[in-house]
Amino acid sequence: MKLAIREGMVPGQTLPEQLAWLERLGLDAIELHSGALDLPPNELRAIFAASPIEAAALEGRPVLVHPDPKERAAGKELTRERLHLAAELGAVGVLLVPQFGRQPALPDLSPLKTAAELEREIFVRQLQELAPAAAAAGRPLFLEPLNRYEAYLVNRLEQGTAFADQVGTDIRIMADFFHMNIEEADIAASIRAAGQQIVYVHVADSNRLQPGRGHLDFRPGFAALKETGYDGYLGIECRVAGPFDEAIRESAALLRDLWSAA
């Protein structure tokens, strides 16, 4: 297991400064999602080549069911580029939130199709068009289920795996403990059912603070991940209470202890 953290949480004005901070705190990787992805690919490669910190994952744009076809097309093109970049940087793949919002953005075409049915079909079609790029890169596009208060299309791991199963092995899922704490009746059982479809993990406590500041017991879920053979990144994605560096160090130590004990 390795510990990663989301780029937007990392102090520093430049990516090299951020990687140096991660090295000082003893973390392993960074999840790229904002300013760093605007850098030229050759500059990104050089920065990571000069640091022991890894690129854990890259973020895609959540526009594959956007009402505007131009936005959907631009989102697919960006995702293809980032899949290629993920391969160059040695990242797991590209993280994709299927959509944001508690209601469909597309119109209801009942009785032909409801808005939700239409969005599901479009989403599958979009994933099918992106799967060849993931296969060529040798890196999956993986879906992040979000809780019902943030999204409606994919809330639980089983919903994510259902989309992945329709498309093929180049589409996988990730597991986020904060969202699972809201949506899954049994986190460990859901992880076991998803099995090797899970290629990335986010960790935050029950209150969206850093692990150790809420009431979420990570150990059953960690044990289930181990049973499925998962030994990848735990990506810290949360708000932080307390002095920042100290809070991240404490949380990282806790996560390593809980993983070892699971």
* Amino acid at the residue 23: E
237 in active site: yes
144 in active site: yes
> Is residue 138 left, alpha or beta, with left meaning phi > 0 and alpha meaning psi from -120 to 50?
left
Token pair 């119109």 is found at 107
Element (H, E) at 57: strand 54-59
Q: Which residue of the set 54, 144, 183, 184 is catalytic?
A: 144
* Amino acid at the residue 61: R
Cβ atoms of 126 and 72 within 8 Å: the answer is: yes
What residues form DSSP beta bridges with 198?
173
What residues form DSSP beta bridges with 122?
none
Cβ atoms of 96 and 79 within 8 Å: the answer is: yes
Residues marked active site are found at 144, 237
